[in-house]
């Protein structure tokens, strides 16, 4: 601990040295290999928005691996909202929202809002740091990877000024970086055609290239490339875990690790069929047909030659995760065994002995009610048989009997369903709370536990459950509630506790160190390391912080874990 404390003092000293110099004249400016980046400063935080980290993936580079920048860009004004990568159009079922109180329906309706500025030329990063930072401060770097089910998401949704200011107040200043990466068909289209070219899992490759950019350039912003932590939510959390598996667990670049820790919010293993499986091939063929490219000798060349609008129109014939088919997700990282980048489904890797996983520390958790948002779209599936029909249709390689047995562990009685702990309340249609419990478990909650049980004896791991906001009608502690907590800072006691734990992890690879240090640290409960025997986890609740057990619905989990190799889509 002493060495860690010295590191903190040194970082704070460098930061204060920068403050001592006072504000520099004009806006913040940083010179990197490709040019000069001019940002803006507000409320003690410098923001540099829309810094390109790759060549634009347009024209003939559409549906190909992103290429590093080769040319200098001179001086750029990094002060405008950057372009978002094109998402899959969200066509929410209006009947889904009509089940809800009007105020809640309006809030959830924001999920269907498209980014304000969209286009294919979108591979950029945002950097936010404490203002007037010393050049040699070498602050730890937290890299945020947004969620959206690999169908949506962009940096437009996130501003980390609040968190950066909290890091300053807690005497553990950090730099936050986030990147735009390709989602939907442009980022995760599968099929044998793309496999043959080696252009699979493009969104993950975008993220990896951005991490390499950070390794090369973040020191110029006052960051330490040797102290990088990845942090993601939902699909972003799955992405963080995937970076631990990529290249057989080799997370180095130019001989040095790209990151040393991972924070997983609501997402982990994400088992998937191979990139040329009929499930993935059907998506490719559907888009080719919608684009009018079926008769082309080279269907990929045809897709690349399409005008942008025509390509997106063809992509948007694919159902999204909020449509009446429920949790079908067409675009997701899929293993490509012909390429070492991502050759195996994550469930295969973590079951290996030993698993080929980057040896980085983990802090991982879920929301208590991960499935409520998705169960809203399942209102037609009011019996277990109907739910089996839907889930089996998107995972046809798995025997129907597996889903029948798995779902049998979930009672129809609403008091056992999600939102959990709300008794008979919130059953907006027959079977809603059961459907919410099942979808939340199989898609997110159990995937989280699988990873911790497989890896916690090999790498330092901490687990948590967020169970605040049970008073929120119908959706409880919903998928994404943690994003709302960090964005709003409310409820404040839970935000401050979470922020301190996260900063301690980023600085010390242990969420407990700051609480033990002298000074202004908040005295927080000791967060026990996860152990497969004790299953201890931190629970963030409306009543405060509680040490609980990650053993709820254990019989269902045991069966799920035994069939994980079949539960892929």
Long-range Cβ contacts of 542-549 (<8 Å, 24+ apart): 542/467, 542/468, 542/469, 542/470, 542/471, 542/491, 544/493, 545/497, 548/465
Calpha distance 368→365 (Å, rounded): 10
Q: Is the peptide bond before 491 cis (omega within 30 degrees of 0)?
A: yes
- Look up tokens 């002060």; give the residue: 79
Query: Where are the alpha helices (H) located in 250-360, listed in sequence order?
Result: 278-290, 299-305, 308-315, 346-351
Neighbours of 347 (CB within 10 A): 21
Calpha distance 197→199 (Å, rounded): 5
Nearest to 453 by CA among 534, 526, 388, 368: 534
Calpha distance 503→521 (Å, rounded): 11
Label residue 290 exposed, middle or buried (CB < 10 Å: 0-12, 13-18, 19+): middle
Nearest to 392 by CA among 381, 404, 382, 383: 404
CA within 13 Å, CB half, 281: 8
Q: Is 234 a catalytic residue?
A: yes
Residue 256 phi, psi (nearest 5): -125, 145
What is the SS3 string spanning 503-520?
HHHHHHCCCCHHHHCCCC
Nearest to 540 by CA among 502, 487, 493, 478: 493
Nearest to 52 by CA among 108, 122, 109, 105: 122
β-bridge mates for residue 47, sequence order? 40, 128
CA within 13 Å, CB half, 458: 16
For the chain, the first-to-last Cα distance in angstroms comes to: 44
Q: Catalytic pick from 131, 167, 184, 234?
A: 234
Neighbours of 450 (CB within 10 A): 21
Calpha distance 511→547 (Å, rounded): 14
CA distances from 73 to 34, 78, 124, 213, 470 (A): 6, 12, 13, 15, 50
Active site residues: 234
């Amino acid at each position: 601990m002493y060495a860690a404390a010295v590191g903190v003092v040194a970082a704070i000293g460098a930061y204060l040295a920068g403050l001592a110099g006072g504000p520099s004249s004009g806006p913040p400016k940083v010179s990197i290999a490709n040019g000069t980046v001019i940002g803006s400063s507000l409320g003690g935080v410098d923001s540099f928005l829309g810094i390109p980290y790759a060549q634009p993936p347009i024209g003939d580079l559409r549906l190909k691996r992103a290429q590093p920048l080769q040319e200098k860009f001179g001086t750029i004004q990094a002060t405008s909202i950057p372009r978002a990568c094109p998402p899959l159009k969200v066509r929410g079922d209006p009947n889904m929202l009509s089940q809800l109180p009007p105020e809640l329906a309006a809030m959830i309706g924001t999920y269907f809002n498209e980014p304000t500025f969209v286009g294919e030329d979108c591979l950029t990063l945002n950097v936010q740091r404490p203002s007037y930072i010393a050049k040699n401060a070498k602050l730890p770097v937290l890299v945020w990877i947004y969620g959206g089910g690999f169908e949506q998401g962009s940096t437009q949704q996130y501003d980390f000024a609040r968190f950066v200011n909290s890091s300053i107040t807690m005497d553990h200043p950090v730099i936050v970086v986030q990147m735009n990466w390709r989602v939907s068909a442009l980022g995760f289209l599968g099929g044998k055609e793309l496999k043959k070219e080696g252009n699979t899992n493009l969104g993950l490759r975008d993220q990896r290239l951005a991490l390499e950019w950070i390794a090369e350039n973040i020191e110029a912003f006052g960051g330490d490339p040797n102290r990088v932590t990845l942090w993601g939510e939902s699909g972003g959390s799955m992405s963080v875990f995937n970076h631990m598996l990529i290249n057989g667990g080799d997370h180095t670049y130019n001989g040095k690790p790209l990151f040393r820790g991972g924070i997983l919010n609501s997402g982990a293993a994400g088992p998937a069929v191979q990139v040329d499986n009929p499930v993935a091939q059907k998506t490719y063929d559907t888009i080719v047909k919608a684009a009018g490219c079926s008769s082309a000798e080279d269907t990929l060349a045809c897709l690349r030659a399409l005008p942008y609008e025509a390509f997106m129109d063809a992509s948007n014939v694919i159902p999204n995760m909020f449509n009446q088919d429920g949790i079908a997700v067409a675009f997701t990282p899929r293993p490509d065994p012909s390429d070492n980048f991502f050759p195996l489904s994550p469930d295969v890797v973590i079951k290996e002995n030993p698993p080929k996983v980057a040896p980085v520390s983990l802090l991982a958790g879920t929301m208590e009610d991960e499935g409520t948002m998705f169960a809203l779209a399942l209102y037609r599936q009011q019996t277990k048989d109907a739910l089996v029909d839907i889930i089996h249709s998107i995972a046809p390689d798995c025997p129907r009997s597996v889903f029948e047995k798995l779902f049998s562990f979930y009672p129809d009685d609403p008091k056992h369903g999600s939102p959990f702990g709300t008794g008979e309340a919130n059953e907006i249609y027959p079977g809603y709370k059961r459907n919410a419990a099942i979808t939340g478990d199989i898609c997110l909650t159990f995937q989280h536990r699988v990873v911790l049980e497989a890896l916690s004896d090999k790498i330092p791991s901490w687990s948590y459950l967020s169970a605040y906001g049970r008073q929120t009608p119908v959706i409880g502690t919903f998928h994404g509630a943690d994003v709302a907590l960090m964005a709003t800072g409310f409820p404040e006691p839970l935000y401050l506790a979470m922020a301190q734990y996260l900063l301690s992890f980023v600085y010390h690879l242990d969420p407990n160190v700051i609480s033990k240090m002298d000074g202004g640290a908040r005295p927080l409960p000791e967060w026990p390391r996860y152990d497969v025997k004790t299953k201890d986890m931190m629970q963030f609740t409306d009543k405060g912080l509680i040490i609980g057990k990650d053993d709820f619905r254990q019989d269902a989990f045991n069966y799920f874990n035994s069939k994980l190799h079949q539960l892929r889509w």
